[in-house]
Structure 1
């Protein structure tokens, strides 16, 4: 079972990058982020109280995941869009457990807690491929 998900939260640990063999093809690349999706409620004093937040693993499968592992950092505020996937499993004592993970389509970095942003002038491999689409030469 899965459902569309959009949530804002903080990356809680160093991103985990993995590659998986894919026969003779390029390996499949996974970047896993551990994100706390909070629910900030404003209080009368101008502060916020978190009510009902939750932790969820966010999986981002993409060929640029290796490059992005250095971009996403612990403590960063992110906006995640994807689908929430329910997983049923048994623990070591054979108790049934249910957890949710987010299979991300997009993970946007929000400008909170950033000192600066450095933009690359060199296009990434995916951008370079897109710029050639539809050109004739």
Structure 2
């Protein structure tokens, strides 16, 4: 069972990246974030109250996750788009457990508490031109 998910939240722990062998092909790479998706409701005094927030594991499979694991940081505000997936498993005592996780398609960094942004060099025309042109 899955459903489309779109939410904004804060990364709650240091991101972790893992690599899984894939035979002779390039390995599959996973970035895992633990994100708190809050529900800020404005109060009369101009402040906000969190009503109904929740923690969710966010997983992103991509070849560049090693780089992204250093880019994303604990406390960073992110926008996550993907799908929720029900994950059933057994714990060490063989009790059935159910967890909902988010399989992300996109994770965007929001500018809250970001001090600086550094862009990589723009590729040259030779690198962006299709072959034969």
* Fold match (TM-score > 0.5): yes
- 1:100-123 deviations in Å (ceiling 9; x for gaps): 010000000000011111111155
Which blocks of at least 5 consecutive residues in structure 1 are unaligned?
none
User: Which residue pairs with 1:38 in the alignment?
Assistant: 38
- TM-score normalized by the length of structure 1: 0.88
| Per-residue Cα deviation, 1:78-119 (whole angstroms, up to 9, x for no partner) | 000001000122333333321101000000000001111111
The number of equivalent residue pairs is 131
C-alpha separation between the residues in 1 aligned to 2:132 and 2:7?
41
Q: What SS does the corresponding residue of 2:46 show, helix, strand or coil?
A: coil
Partner SS for 2:26: coil
Cα deviation, 1:22-42, whole Å, max 9, x if unaligned, reads 000011111101100000011
Structure number with the higher strand fraction is 2
1:108 aligns with 2:116: no
Distance 2:40 2:99 in 1: 23
TM-score by length of 2: 0.91
5+ long unaligned stretches in structure 2: none
| Mapping 1:73-112, distance limit 5 Å | 73-112=73-112
Taking the aligned partners of 1:34 and 1:7, their CA distance within structure 2 comes to 13
Partners of 1:17 and 1:94 in 2: CA distance: 28
